[in-house]
Amino acid sequence: MEKPEEKPDVTLAENASDVFPKHQEEAGLEASSSDLDDAKRARRLVRKMDLHILPLCAWVYLLNYLDRGNIGNSKVLNQETGDSLLQRTGMNNMDYAVAVSLFSLAYALFEVPSNWIMKRYVRPSRWLATLLFCWGAFTIGFAGVQNYASVVVLRFFVGVFEAGFFPGCVYLITFWYPVEERSVRVAFILASATAAGAFGGCIAYGVGHINGAASLSGFRWLFIIEGLVTISSVLLVLFFLPDYPSRARFLSPSDKAFVEQRIARQGGGYTSAKATRDEVLETCARPRMLAHYCAYLCNSVPLGSLTFFSPTIVAGLGYTSIKAQLMTVPPWLVGYVVCLLLGWSADRHNARGWHIALSSTLGGAGWLTAGLLPADAYAKRYGCLMLCACGAFPSSGPLSAWVTCNVPTVVTMGIATALNNSAAGFSQIIAQWIWKGDEQDRGFPTGNFVIIIGRCDWLRYPCGAAMMHGCGRLHRNITTHISSTHWQVFIVSTERTMNLSSFHFRSAFIGVCILSLLILLLFSRNAPSHLPLTGYGYGAHGSDLLSHVFNRTLGFQKIFVINLPSRTDLRDSMSLAAALTDLEMEYVDGVTGVDDKALPPGAKETNLAKGSLYAWRAHMNVLRTIVEQNLTSALILENDVDWDIRLKQQLRSFALGAHLLIQPLTGTTSTFLDPTYPAPRSPDDQPTNFDVADFTAARTVTPPTTSPYGDVHRWDVLWLGHCGTRFPKASDANAPLGRAVIADDASVPEQQHLDVEDGGWDLLTKYPVHTRVVHRARVSTCTLGYGVSQQGARRLLYELGIRNVTGTADMMFRSVCDGVEGRPLLTCLTVQPQIFSHHRRAGDVAAFSDINDRTGYNEQAYTKNVRWSTRLNFDRLLYGRTDYVDLFRDGEPENHFEG
């Protein structure tokens, strides 16, 4: 029996010229005039194919990326009015993370089935149009989401149908172009994704201005508009995207034959033949194919990071809000240019490995430098982000084209391209968990260094393959076998065989891959430390410690509530309000008796009423607890206070205002924004208004490092809940006059509804509607809610609890904040209108106070200056309704409440 001819193993081919000489001179033949004519004809046909295929694919892939990333925009869009996706659906940050991860999972799982369907059953134009219609329809479906479950289901199905488009485009490219022409075409399609990334935030910003039109939130309009654009493009794909050269209406019969022969000579083209089991296994598990898939996975972690988290990364560089969205544009534009240049050069020089290695090294240098630079080196780290963009998308085009060079058979080309892109789906899951919100102040070390590890791991692949290719081509014989349905490439060195399928290589390669994945998982094994978020609050964003405002203690270490054990009614309401707005509180029992021997000097002479005396002692007990537990800061609330369901966003704005008043200017330690700091220089000095949005965007002051409200050694009291206060005057002589102005705050009632006392009249006459102002506390009354630092708690405990008693608790708080009655001046900030306010429930007004006796009956429950009262919206929050009660609607006359 004749022994079957043993086929040499297929080694790693970097480009088609490694297998089929690009010029006949390399095969020892002379070029003929017919060859030159064929080259001219090929260039003419390639230009024609480019015009019919590439613009349409690039346009739809841009839509693909817009519809993929719009969930990130909708997360925060119109959050100031309570109309973001998270707020309207009751989701928190962990829910959002799961939704994004499920999209990536669907994206990874359904790419191979999609390409299989396109190969076996439906021609490309019809199948890609079907995918386009389906994901566009599900995108529009987001306009109707009401809860977490609907978001997850829709997001999963968007991933299912988006999954097949890009690998389908790459597979389509193999029907039309030889290997050395594919990189730049794939890069052109990929570059449209960078354009989507650059302008997606700008589009969302524009759509945000139609929030409320037709009673729809801005994020719903975003999904509707982008979904309709997607669906309207279906007919373009269906009727104008060519399927195969043999069906192209823009080619003559002779041109069709020429194109097919040109592709067939290099092992490309379309075939309807079925793959055998061995061919499928070889495509899925052969070491050189695994190398491609692992390389693409490692490359796609930074790609996914830039796609889903570039606003977060930029915010961590010191930019916030819309400024962060806009500042993501330059890195994406740089990526766009480099993506096109790298793809063009890789095809022109037939050297994908070295181009990929160069791009990846450049990007890796950016991530490494960003990880090593100080967190406050904003300009330098932003420059690093530019380098990072040069190593993300630009490598993807050559990598996607390179895998088509090494497929063992053209029959499984669709499987290979889909598997390769599936790796990107899994990498995006990794990217979801490595950018941790609580690491912004440290420059995101986990995200940066996980990517660096991945870069170092996979960089061995293109470098090693390119060097092996270069050594092997010095002395080799080329054997080719081409049939109508299969093509195989054999590169055999005359001096040595480069056998990549040996047992030792296979074992070593798989071992290295497993080890690398374990390292990646080790560094990203923890769940993402997204800060907890009320379902009706706001996402954790902003720079440095500012994001801590969104945790369950509002950026303080603890929240204490003073409550008499007998007032179970108030504790019930307080606990429910805290649960519905995702707050964690610790109750401190009110006082019902004080031993005369325990009274400090002045207490008996002051002759406080029992209720006032007990209230004073309860506040001292909380301050003592803060000192004993050595808490950096704490928030103290009385048990009958109420707040807006948008509390966390209000406190974020307050914190930014506080920064402008107490943090030194950037680059200094003792120079401040307020020209009257530390005290007015003349009785004629006037207050200066600092717009919080403008000055924060300009990074005017040094970010705090110990508290989101400002470094704790710079403040003592944050008087957030009061019955009234006034702005400082130059005649006070000891308090800076600066005012941090929070404009366009939709949670602030219009002037006719505002209730100001004790000199806050400027708020009614000198500022536009919906304005909140942060300033130094002056002549404040009622300690409804206040934050204290550790130094503030110690000073208050001494001054009010040990040194002497001169009045009620709030009057003594006023004395230390005003620096009167022989007391030292403490740094106290307050805000108008107040953030925490008394809630007056309907019924007997005797229940309003445990200190003073009251008589009468209150017909309607209300909370002064709080629009979307948490307590008045209990039923809405409990049952998922979004028609929140607003007692102070814009344009309506003043409400008059009794009690």
What is the CATH topology of the domain spanning 71-260+283-523? Answer: Growth Hormone; Chain: A; (1.20.1250)
Query: Partners of 844 in the beta sheet?
Result: 857
Beta-carbon contacts of residue 764 (< 8 Å; ≥ 6 apart):
751, 754, 756
Per-residue tokens: 858 = 């209150």
Per-residue tokens: 426 = 């899994």
Distances in Å between the Cα of 26 and the Cα atoms of 21, 23, 493 are 6, 6, 17
Parallel/antiparallel/unpaired status of strands 558-563 and 739-742: unpaired
Q: What integer is the mean pLDDT of 634-650?
A: 96
Is the pTM here over 0.85, yes or no? no
- Residue 495 has what pLDDT? 32
List pLDDT tens digits, range 810-860.
Answer: 999 999 999 998 999 999 999 999 999 999 887 655 555 555 555 555 578
Interhelix angle for 413-434 vs 287-315, to 10°?
40
Residue holding tokens 């941790």? 436
Range 450-459 burial, b when 16+ CB lie within 10 A, else e: bbbbbbebbb
Per-residue tokens: 770 = 């919906």
Confidence of residue 324 (pLDDT cuts 50, 70, 90): low
Would the pLDDT of 433 be above 90? no
Q: Using the 8-state DSSP alphabet, how is residue 781 labeled? A: B
Distances in Å between the Cα of 890 and the Cα atoms of 638, 753, 894, 896 are 29, 9, 10, 15
Contact criterion met (CB below 8 Å) for 454 and 366: no
DSSP codes joined into one string, 508-535: HHHHHHHHHHHHHHHHT-SPP-PPP--T
Per-residue tokens: 872 = 């008045």
Contact criterion met (CB below 8 Å) for 161 and 128: no
Contact criterion met (CB below 8 Å) for 756 and 864: no
State the Cα torsion 747-751-754-757 to the nearest 10°. Answer: 130
Helix (H), strand (E) at residue 563: strand 558-563
Per-residue tokens: 454 = 């991945």
Q: Which long-range contacts (CB under 8 A, 24 or more apart) does 245-252 make?
A: 245/175, 245/176, 245/269, 247/123, 248/52, 250/48, 250/52, 251/45, 251/48
Radius of gyration of the chain measured on its C-alpha atoms: 33
From CA 865, how far away is CA 406, in angstroms rounded?
Answer: 69
Cα angle at 164 between 158 and 169, to 5 degrees? 130
Beta-carbon contacts of residue 393 (< 8 Å; ≥ 6 apart):
190, 191, 193, 194, 303, 306, 335, 336, 338, 339
Query: Partners of 641 in the beta sheet?
Result: 838
Would the pLDDT of 607 be above 80? yes
Residue holding tokens 């989101």? 708
Per-residue tokens: 169 = 């485009």
Contact criterion met (CB below 8 Å) for 167 and 418: yes
From CA 243, how far away is CA 123, in angstroms rounded?
Answer: 6
Could you tell me the residue ranges of all domains in the chain? 71-260+283-523, 544-836+865-878
Beta-carbon contacts of residue 740 (< 8 Å; ≥ 6 apart):
656, 657, 658, 660, 661, 690, 692, 773, 774, 775
Closest CA to 294 of 460, 105, 474, 466: 460
From CA 536, how far away is CA 326, in angstroms rounded?
Answer: 26
Counting Cβ atoms within 10 Å, is residue 51 exposed (0-12), middle (13-18) or buried (19+)? Answer: exposed
Parallel/antiparallel/unpaired status of strands 558-563 and 689-691: unpaired
Would the pLDDT of 525 be above 70? no
Confidence of residue 289 (pLDDT cuts 50, 70, 90): confident
- Residue 800 has what pLDDT? 95
From CA 134, how far away is CA 227, in angstroms rounded?
Answer: 10
Contact criterion met (CB below 8 Å) for 612 and 850: no
List pLDDT tens digits, range 713-764.
Answer: 999 999 999 999 999 999 888 889 999 999 999 999 999 999 887 667 889 9
Half-sphere exposure of 728 (CA within 13 A, CB side): 35
Parallel/antiparallel/unpaired status of strands 558-563 and 785-789: unpaired
Confidence of residue 558 (pLDDT cuts 50, 70, 90): very high
From CA 276, how far away is CA 801, in angstroms rounded?
Answer: 86
Q: What is the 3-state secondary structure (H, E, C) of 53-102?
A: HHHHHHHHHHHHHHHHHHHHHHHHCCHHHCCCHHHHHCCCHHHHHHHHHH
Strands (DSSP E) contained in 382-451 are none
Per cent of the chain over pLDDT 90 is 39
DSSP codes joined into one string, 609-653: -HHHHHHHHHHHHHHHHHHHTT-SEEEEEETTEE-BTTHHHHHHH
Confidence of residue 378 (pLDDT cuts 50, 70, 90): low
- Residue 470 has what pLDDT? 43
Its sign, for the CA torsion 195, 201, 203, 206, is negative
Q: What is the 3-state secondary structure (H, E, C) of 272-331?
A: CCCCCHHHHHHHHHCHHHHHHHHHHHHHHHHHHHHHHHHHHHHHCCCCCHHHHHHHCHHH
State the Cα torsion 44-45-49-55 to the nearest 10°. Answer: 0
List pLDDT tens digits, range 541-554.
Answer: 334 478 789 889 99
Contact criterion met (CB below 8 Å) for 173 and 167: no
Interhelix angle for 378-403 vs 287-315, to 10°?
150
Contact criterion met (CB below 8 Å) for 124 and 423: no
Q: Using the 8-state DSSP alphabet, how is residue 757 labeled? A: -
Q: What is the mean pLDDT of the chain?
A: 79
From CA 520, how far away is CA 455, in angstroms rounded?
Answer: 11
Confidence of residue 300 (pLDDT cuts 50, 70, 90): confident
Beta-carbon contacts of residue 694 (< 8 Å; ≥ 6 apart):
none
- Residue 559 has what pLDDT? 97
List pLDDT tens digits, range 767-801.
Answer: 999 999 999 999 999 999 999 999 999 999 999 99
Distances in Å between the Cα of 802 and the Cα atoms of 607, 798, 827, 890 are 17, 5, 20, 48
Parallel/antiparallel/unpaired status of strands 857-858 and 862-863: unpaired
List pLDDT tens digits, range 470-522.
Answer: 444 433 333 333 333 333 333 332 233 334 444 444 454 455 445 444 444 44
List pLDDT tens digits, range 121-161.
Answer: 899 999 999 999 999 999 999 999 999 999 999 999 999 99
Longest dimension (CA), the chain: 121
Closest CA to 639 of 544, 557, 582, 571: 571
Q: What integer is the mean pLDDT of 855-879?
A: 86
- Residue 325 has what pLDDT? 56
Range 153-189 burial, b when 16+ CB lie within 10 A, else e: ebbbbbbbbbbbbbbbbbbbbbbbbbbbbbbbbbbbb
Distances in Å between the Cα of 135 and the Cα atoms of 89, 194, 227, 292 are 21, 20, 8, 28
Per-residue tokens: 681 = 């220089």
Would the pLDDT of 535 be above 70? no
Its sign, for the CA torsion 874, 877, 881, 882, is positive
- Residue 478 has what pLDDT? 33
